[in-house]
């Protein structure tokens, strides 16, 4: 799980914030044809918003030659 330690540690601004955060990552190779990806992402985000009543959701998308990724960081309500 060093992967997660690295991801969380590289981003946290305080210990408290780190504890109240969920991270979701969705990834696929660019070569796949997934015409429904946008709609599916939106629906997954709706589910997360509904449950977490999130204060703040940060969404990052990234792509390179091989992969497309969606990274969602949710600051949870206290």
Member of 11, 28, 56, 60 binding a second copy (CB under 8 A)? 28
Tokens of 65: 């030659």
For tokens 């509904």, name the residue. Answer: 50
Neighbouring residues of 36: CB distance < 8 A, sequence distance ≥ 6: none
- Looking at the DSSP assignment, which residues form a beta bridge with residue 20? none
**57 interacts with a second copy by CB under 8 A:** no
Min CB(58)–a second copy separation in Å: 15
SS3 at position 66: coil
Residues contributing to the site for a second copy (CB under 8 A) = 1, 3-5, 7-8, 18-29, 31-32, 34, 36, 39-40, 43-44, 47-48, 51-52, 62, 64, 66-67, 69, 76
């Amino acid at each position: 799980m060093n992967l997660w330690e690295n991801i969380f540690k590289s981003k946290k601004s305080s210990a408290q914030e780190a504890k109240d955060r969920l991270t979701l990552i969705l990834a696929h190779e660019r070569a796949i044809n997934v015409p429904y990806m946008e709609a599916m992402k939106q629906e997954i985000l709706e589910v997360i918003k509904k449950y977490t009543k999130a204060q703040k959701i940060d969404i990052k998308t990234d792509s390179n030659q091989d992969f497309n990724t969606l990274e969602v960081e949710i600051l949870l309500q206290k």
